[in-house]
Amino acid sequence: MSKDLYAILGVSRTASHSDIRRAYKRKAKDLHPDLNPGDKVKSDGFKAASAAYEILGDDAKRAQYDRGEIDADGNTKGYTGPEAGGFGGFEHAGGQGDAFEDILSGMFGGGRRRPGPRKGADMRYRVEIAFEDAVLGAKRDMTMADGRKLSVSIPAGIENGRTMRLKSQGQPSPSGGPPGDALLEIKIRDNPTWVRKGVDLHMTIPVPLRTAILGGSIEVATPAGPVALKVPEGSNSGSVLRLRHKGVQVSPRAGHLYVRLEVLIEDPKDTKLKAWARDV
């Protein structure tokens, strides 16, 4: 009996695209191998849900599935429509030539062309990374749906919501073709210290009143580690200083880190400070 992709995701055949996406997200969260190490049943369930979403999450493929043109594995079914002139059983393989071309080929002695092996299905994952990883780039280990460990290179400058494609890391082909790809949707965690605007970073940092008046050096946190920042004499709240190339590390030129100063009275009850203020 053929698999029912709607039943696998637990949705009706009239479900909207959003309903299907939400159902897949719930299944993936419950069945992901990272959360259920060693549980083959849930690992298999995750693979099935991902394969179902590969078809139902794509409007064009879903329409083909609903019309019976492809099966639950995404394989093209035999075509027996009236356009074939009553000659059934010719496979429609997209870029491999259609049934009508096969019939013509046979009529003129060329024989029916056989479609080439199909590529395996792609697998979709959602990967959450630290803010610093998006700024600096990083290598992270990831567990695939089949339990394989994979080292993934996160490029510096990647943006929230972008999708990385890992070639040949998806499902194997059912017909001897190349494997599918792994598609990683990137989610970047918020950071309380920095705000990203393009390739530049922005932050606010408190500065002691004495340093603001007389000038001096303060320590500033950057994604790559702390650095010293020289504060000019007579700085005020709202002043913005720039740390060159301490922003997003993209090629050929990294962004900058802009530091907004916020003058801080370290001890508002300081008697000397009060006396100074009265004498001014």
* Whether pLDDT at 71 is above 60: yes
- Mean pLDDT across the stretch 37-41? 85
Pair 154, 236 in one domain: no
* Residues 156 and 200 reside in one and the same domain: no
* Confidence check: pLDDT of 270 > 90: no
Q: Are residues 163 and 206 in the same domain?
A: no
Residue 102 is predicted with a pLDDT of: 40
Q: What is the dihedral of CA 269, 271, 275, 278, to 10 degrees?
A: 20
Domain assignment present for 20: yes
Q: Tell me, yes or no, whether 116 lies in a domain.
A: no
204 and 262 assigned to the same domain: yes
Structural domain count, the chain: 3
pLDDT for 141 beyond 70: yes
Q: Which residue has the higher pLDDT, 270 or 216?
A: 216
User: Does residue 53 lie within any of the structural domains?
Assistant: yes
* Ranges 49-53, 57-61, 191-195, most confident: 191-195
User: Where in the sequence is the domain holding 94, given as residue range(s)?
Assistant: 5-107
In the predicted model, is pLDDT for residue 183 greater than 90?
yes
The verdict on 53 and 28 lying in the same domain is yes
Q: Is residue 115 part of a domain?
A: no
178, 203: one domain: no
| Pair 258, 203 in one domain | yes
Q: Residue 58 above 50 pLDDT?
A: yes
Distance of alpha carbon 64 from alpha carbon 56, whole angstroms: 10
**Please, which pLDDT band fits residue 114 given cuts at 50, 70 and 90?**
low
What is the rounded average pLDDT of the residues 227-247? 96
Quick one: average pLDDT of 187-192?
A: 94
* CATH number of the domain to which 101 belongs: 1.10.287.110
Do 84 and 139 reside in the same domain of the chain?
A: no
Mean pLDDT of 44-72: 88
Indicate whether 185 pLDDT > 60: yes
Q: 146 lies in a domain? A: yes
pTM (two decimals): 0.57
pLDDT for the residue 2: 63
- Cβ(92)–Cβ(76) under 8 Å? yes
The answer to the question of residue 175 being in a domain is yes
* Among candidate residues 159, 256, 253, the one with its CA nearest the CA of residue 200: 256
* DSSP code string of the chain: ----HHHHHT--TT--HHHHHHHHHHHHHHH-TTTSTT-HHHHHHHHHHHHHHHHHTSHHHHHHHHHTSB-TTSPBPEE--GGGTT---EE--GGG--HHHHHHHHHTTS-PPPPPPPPPPPEEEEEEE-HHHHHH-EEEEEE-TTS-EEEEEE-TT--TT-EEEETT-SPPPTTS-----EEEEEEEPP-SS-EEETTEEEEEEEEEHHHHHH-EEEEE--TT--EEEEEPTT--TT-EEEETT-S---SSS---EEEEEEEE-S-TT-HHHHHHHHH-
Cα–Cα distances (Å) from 26 to 185, 186, 246, in that order, read 16, 18, 39
pLDDT value at 88 more than 60: no
Q: Would residue 73 count as lying in a domain?
A: yes
CATH number for the domain harbouring residue 159:
2.60.260.20
Domain closes at, from 164, 188, 212: 188
Task: Of 208, 247, 203, 255, give the one whose Cα is nearest residue 231.
Answer: 208
